[in-house]
Amino acid sequence: MRVLVSGGAGYIGSHTVLALIEAGHSVVVVDDFSNSKPTVVARLESLSGQHIPVHAFDLADIDKTTQLFSIEEIDAVIHFAGFKAVGESVSKPLEYYQNNLGSTFSLLHAMRRHEVKKLVFSSSATVYGDNAPVPYPEDYEHLAAASPYGRTKVMIEHVLSDVAHATPGQRIALLRYFNPVGAHPSGEIGEDPQGIPNNLMPFVAQVAIGRREKLEVFGGDYPTADGTCERDYIHVQDLAAGHVAALEHLDTMSEPVRAFNLGTGTGTSVMELFRAFEKAVGRELPYEVVGRRPGDLPAYWADPSRARDELGWTATRTIEDMCADTWRWQSANPQGFPDGS
Ligand code: WQD
């Protein structure tokens, strides 16, 4: 299939572009490069050995988006593009709603105009909110996120569900990611957060490379085995494979829309991840246990059985793989991707 990947120069988007090409699909990328660099595409072309058409504009522009579907023959869409910093969304809610929902509406209009009916959406475990039973099950009804960012994901899931039910033949998969980490084993692409990383793994990687002084562990007094929060970390390569599996499942999906957890089903604590990263680097790294970060939940992970049973997909990579691949990427690219085109 010829797949339009929105946000294809981003962390998960770029790894999924490679996986799609390796699975025999062709890819068109649209990205406004507001949170990614054009040099990512050059790396992807080098890794895939293929030219990857790129269109650089804001997807919220309905005219440009509809025109894109006239220029490029598109069979399906994987929609990653969106703002995704939880903390930032609290101080900039309007920008998050405008961008994340606006880009989705624009895509849906263009898809309807050009009768493109297959869509895979980048959702998040954050839609489960604070009260879902662990492991999180997809059929949990009371979706309610705790941040404007998370609420954009809940709203978009509802929009996509309503549109899918109203459009004969439409098939939409909602992929709820847990904690994506790791990098392509080549070390050529990986997570490259702009500014101070919000997330654990890139922050630890920057401590190891010498860009950050030490890891601050946000809370050591949680009701968990070692007192630090537990999360379901999933290797970005497994995540990318999950997108290919979901895309290829759409034709046989009986419902118009269906959510799938992409996780390992296993919780790992902050300190367990930190110790695994020290092993990957081969030396101790500096850290300090400090106060809790507001809004953090003690422990949650996925029930991954639906993706296993219906997509034939299971995460296979270990925490050690996640740390080794992250370290290979970070040590080969201490400052992340280079600037330039
Ligand atoms: C993991 C654990 C922190 C940084 C977030 C979003 C979620 C999704 C994934 C988009 C927590 C601890 C972190 C640090 C630390 N993003 N930590 N020191 O919060 O589970 O999920 O990213 O969909 O929506 O909420 O991930 O990596 O920020 O934190 O101790 O410097 O690491 O307290 O326990 P989180 P995270």
pLDDT attached to residue 99: 97
Q: How many residues does the chain have?
A: 341
Is-contact 145 90, C-beta < 8 A? Answer: no
Instruction: Using the atom order of ligand 1, give the atom closest to the CA of residue 273.
Output: 32
Mutate to test the pocket of ligand 1, among 191, 199, 301 (most ligand atoms within 8 A of CB): 199
* Shortest-distance Cα residue to atom 21 of ligand 1: 179
All domains of the chain in start order, with CATH: 2-181+233-263 (3.40.50.720)
Instruction: Using the atom order of ligand 1, give the atom closest to the CA of residue 84.
Output: 10
Distance from C-alpha of 143 to C-alpha of 124, rounded to nearest angstrom: 11
**CB neighbour list of residue 23: distance below 8 Å, 6 or more residues apart:** 244, 248
Instruction: Check 11, 128, 136, 149 and give the catalytic one.
Output: 149
pLDDT attached to residue 341: 79
| pTM across the whole model | 0.97
Q: At what angle do helices 319-332 and 270-281 cross, to 10 degrees?
A: 50
177 is known as an active-site residue: no
Cα 198 to ligand 1 centre (Å)? 7
Greatest C-alpha distance within the chain? 57
- Average pLDDT of adjacent 10-residue blocks, the chain of 341 residues: 98 98 98 96 98 96 96 97 94 97 98 98 97 97 93 98 98 98 98 95 98 98 98 98 98 97 98 98 98 96 98 98 98 96 79
pLDDT attached to residue 268: 98
Q: What is the helix (H) or strand (E) element at residue 296, kind and residue range?
A: none
Cα 199 to ligand 1 centre (Å)? 5
Distance from C-alpha of 305 to C-alpha of 224, rounded to nearest angstrom: 24
